[in-house]
Every structure is written in structure tokens, then in C-alpha cells.
Amino acid sequence: MLSNTRKLALLVGLGIASAGAMTFAPPASAGVDVSVGIGVAPPPPRYEAVPPPRPGYAWTPGYWRWDGGRHVWVGGTWVRARPGYVYHPARWEHAHDGWRMHEGYWGR
């Protein structure tokens, strides 16, 4: 079974591959927090030049995803904006048992 992180990466990849024919907007995650705990700190974030704003879209910054024993960079992308919501980007947090990845989500 694919993890939520892999599902999200697969959907984002399909959206990019279709060159604008399909737009991916993650569903609202009211109060849901998915995380993965590992013992390896993520590398520093990569610099990404943010493209000029696109009306009706929000930029989701890139992040490091854990993929079977190593960190893999997932580049930033445009997603359809959700009126009344704010996008909270994916982030890593250091916890007592290692590093935890918190998925990006739309919140009020």
C-alpha cells in the first residue's frame, strides 16, 4: 500500500506531466496530521526561484520527502487556490524519537 506521501508525490507528478491539462488541489485536512518519523535529519531546503504569481493558484514550495532509506527532493508547484483556505507547506520537525515529516495541507 502506498503511503500518503507517495500518493501525493505521484499525483503531483501526474499533474506536472500533463502540462497543465490536469490540476491537482489537495483536499482540505481539517485536524488531520500525517507524519513519518525517521532518525536521519533532512538536508537543508533547496533554493527554488518562485515563478511569477498565477491568478487562481497558490505556490507550494518544494520539500524533502523520505523515500525508502533516503531523502528525495520534491520540487515546488502551482496548485489551484482554495478560497477561504491557506496552504500550510510540508515541514520536518525534530522530535524526541527522531525527525517527523508533516504533510502540507489546506487550513482555514
HEC profile for 39-79?
A: CCCCCCCCCCCCCCCCCCEEEECCEEEECCCCEEEECCEEE
Domain assignment present for residue 2? The answer is no
Domain assignment present for residue 108? The answer is yes
Domain assignment present for residue 69? The answer is yes
CB distance 62 to 45 below 8 Å = yes
User: Is 0.85 topped by the overall pTM?
Assistant: no
CB distance 69 to 39 below 8 Å = no
**Domain range enclosing 88:** 35-108
Q: In terms of C-beta density within 10 A (0-12 exposed, 13-18 middle, 19 or more buried), how is residue 24 classed?
A: middle
pLDDT in the model for residue 17: 46
Residues of the chain short of pLDDT 50, as ranges, are 11, 14-25, 29
Residue 57, amino acid = Y
pLDDT in the model for residue 45: 92
pLDDT in the model for residue 9: 57
> How many domains does the chain divide into?
1
Domain assignment present for residue 55? The answer is yes
pLDDT in the model for residue 64: 96
Domain assignment present for residue 101? The answer is yes
Domain assignment present for residue 10? The answer is no
pLDDT in the model for residue 23: 43
Domain assignment present for residue 52? The answer is yes
Domain assignment present for residue 16? The answer is no
